Amino acid sequence: MSGKFNIDNIAQLARLKLTDAEKERLGGHLEQIIEYIDQLNRLDTEDVEPTSHVLPIHNVFREDEVSQSGATPDYLTGSPSHQKGHYEVPKII
């Protein structure tokens, strides 16, 4: 178990049920990722401009115009369960 993260907590946030073997294996992967980030953090980036997006573009917009896909029923019928136009899910409250 890494001192930097709690694999059970991360699995819970992602709603994943992991076996002990998977925890062992994925925990190792995560540890390597964090190790790599730490390595990046050690670099001197004093004079490097921060990257806010991998693409060198900004301000891509669409106009406020309506168009309807009209494909709703397909999504609804493709869902595991639905009722009177609504998606049915396990009781929340």
Residues at the site binding another protein, with contacts judged by CB under 8 A:
9, 12-13, 15, 52-55, 57-69, 71-72, 75-76, 81, 83-93
Min CB(61)–another protein separation in Å: 4
The 10 Å Cβ neighbour count of residue 19 is: 8
Min CB(64)–another protein separation in Å: 4
Question: And the tokens for 77?
Answer: 């019928």
Q: Please identify, using beta-carbon distances, which residue of 45 and 81 lies nearer to another protein.
A: 81
Q: Please identify, using beta-carbon distances, which residue of 21 and 62 lies nearer to another protein.
A: 62
Q: Please identify, using beta-carbon distances, which residue of 3 and 56 lies nearer to another protein.
A: 56
Give the closest residue to 27 by CA, choosing from 42, 39, 41, 16: 16
- Tell me, what amino acid is at 65? E
Question: CA angle, 87 as apex, 75 and 92 as ends, to 5°?
Answer: 145
Q: Please identify, using beta-carbon distances, which residue of 21 and 70 lies nearer to another protein.
A: 70
Residue 11 and residue 17 in contact, taking contact as beta carbons nearer than 8 Å: yes
Min CB(29)–another protein separation in Å: 17
